[in-house]
Structure 1
Amino acid sequence: MTVTIRPVEKSDVRGLAELIEEIERFYGTTDADIQPFDEREAQVEEALFGSPPLASALLVEDETGGIVGLAAYSFLWPSAGSTHSLFLKELYVRDTLRRQGIGVRLMDELRAIAAARPGCSRVEWMTDRVNPDARAFYRSLGFAEFDGKVVYRVKAGSA
């Protein structure tokens, strides 16, 4: 199957909101915890096209124009010294299209975006320790795991 990788456009918001539900289900979110579609769609639009946008995304589009994957990222500052980094938050390719080089193409595109941005010193991302497929994918690209960080998370507004 031929796919196109391109930056997200405002007309993609609905399809991307649909793909995000698929991603949530991939990570084990139950029907009871799936965000209502209208709310999810509004949040996707605000995140990607608000003023200022919170994130950027590359989309994978199939031959029919359907959205079948994405790489969502933001720039973080500071990184090394006063530089910034491209932080990959989500890399997802629909299961029927995996192992066809699409993830490799997405990673190559992200590295090119980072290299073209003045002051961007690196690309960073995380994956779950319990996701052996993702870990194997990144190792196959020659990326080593970094053990130096511990991730903390608290819900907004929590004391």
Structure 2
Amino acid sequence: MIRCGIVLAIFILSASCMASDSDWNAYIRLVASADPTTIQALPEKIKSIGDSLDDDRAEQLTTAISMALIKEPIAVLDVTNQFKTSTNRLQQRFGTLLICSLPLMTNATKTQVEAYFVKAEPALEQAGKPAAECLNNMRDTIDEIRQEAVKSPKQ
């Protein structure tokens, strides 16, 4: 009987984790697609996540916000700029400075980073003055990446 209860508890826990992962993946897709309601609610969502956001999910969220930046630069920058003044350390991690520094480069290939930049540059140019600082930061970052690639080409 105890064994049956333990197996049932493990099954329930596993099922709840799967639902949680499913919910998280759906949320990440909404962020990446620049869903307006999801982007506007990002500050509160990050607060509600709190310390439960592990490094893997933080990276997923950062990448999703970066993808949203290409689609809706002004809306995304409006939200990420709010994080500059936030006292919440978790929110500060997702601020404009990070998003405009090609955060996906940590796990992406040079080709993927270049492909992202090729999409981001015109989107930020088109967004005009509100995106100028972000674009300049991104250009500086891509220049550094390119210089490093020249200095130490992969063999």
Same structural fold, with TM-score higher than 0.5 when normalized by the shorter chain: no
Larger radius of gyration: 2
- TM-score tier by shorter-chain length is 0.3 to 0.5
Judging by fraction of residues, say which structure has more strand: 1
Judging by fraction of residues, say which structure has more helix: 2
Q: TM-score, normalised by structure 1?
A: 0.34
